[in-house]
Chain A
Amino acid sequence: DAGVIQSPRHEVTEMGQEVTLRCKPISGHDYLFWYRQTMMRGLELLIYFNNNVPIDDSGMPEDRFSAKMPNASFSTLKIQPSEPRDSAVYFCASSYDTEAFFGQGTRLTVV
């Protein structure tokens, strides 16, 4: 398996624009997590899914953020409208029972 695949690797967008981050988990994994990493706050869990169902979205900062998992092999994290303070690295991770595996991340810059 190629591991957790995220796209794009880098995204630069203007404030107010919609941003969509994508993730393909490892095949067979039934948990999917979205994390955000910043220098100030470290790694924070935004939301996670079990069998495509959102379980805990308490980490989603505000209504501008939304996440979906339409099937077991695909998830999106959308920010609309984007703001400069959303600039961070966004990681997707998947797991089956125990060990979590992370993607390479999407570095988002909102100018």
Chain B
Amino acid sequence: KQEVTQIPAALSVPEGENLVLNCSFTDSAIYNLQWFRQDPGKGLTSLLLIQSSQREQTSGRLNASLDKSSGRSTLYIAASQPGDSATYLCAVQGVGKLTGGGNKLTFGTGTQLKVEL
């Protein structure tokens, strides 16, 4: 059974700092890994998706890496801003009997980020 762990559970940093969020998973047989952002009382917003054949993806100040063999992913946020404050969730999509997006996402418990002025 796939298990996803995120460290740290909470993080508070001053504005402008570069930071790294960690995600680890126990079963390396994954189809892809997705990072989400969740604001309080809101739904999940997809940030980055890394296919199992890829090593990293970038979007603006965000960079996500994937090391499938070691079961790890990191989300790097450059020059953090107060607007980045949210909970960040990683989720892995397993390889199963269905191709493509047909297999369930297993979520980590998230990292609650607070960027202070």
Contact = CB atoms under 8 A, between A and B. Distances in A.
B102 A55 contact: yes
Contact of A103 (B41, B43, B89): B43
Interface string B36-68: 100001111110010100000000000000000
How many B residues are at the interface, by size bracket? 20 to 34
- Grouping DSSP codes into helix (H, G, I), strand (E, B) and loop, the B interface class, with mixed when no group exceeds half, is strand
Contacts of A98: 31-32, 49, 51, 93, 100-101
A105 B43 contact: yes
- Grouping DSSP codes into helix (H, G, I), strand (E, B) and loop, the A interface class, with mixed when no group exceeds half, is strand
A99 B89 contact: no
Contact of B110 (A42, A45, A55): A42
Interface residues of A, number: 23
Interface of A: 31, 33, 42-43, 45, 48, 50, 55-56, 91, 93, 95-105, 107
Given A42-B110, A96-B100, A102-B43, 16 more contacts: A33-B104, A33-B105, A42-B108, A43-B107, A93-B44, A97-B101, A98-B32, A99-B101, A100-B91, A100-B101, A102-B36, A102-B45, A102-B46, A104-B43, A105-B43, A107-B41
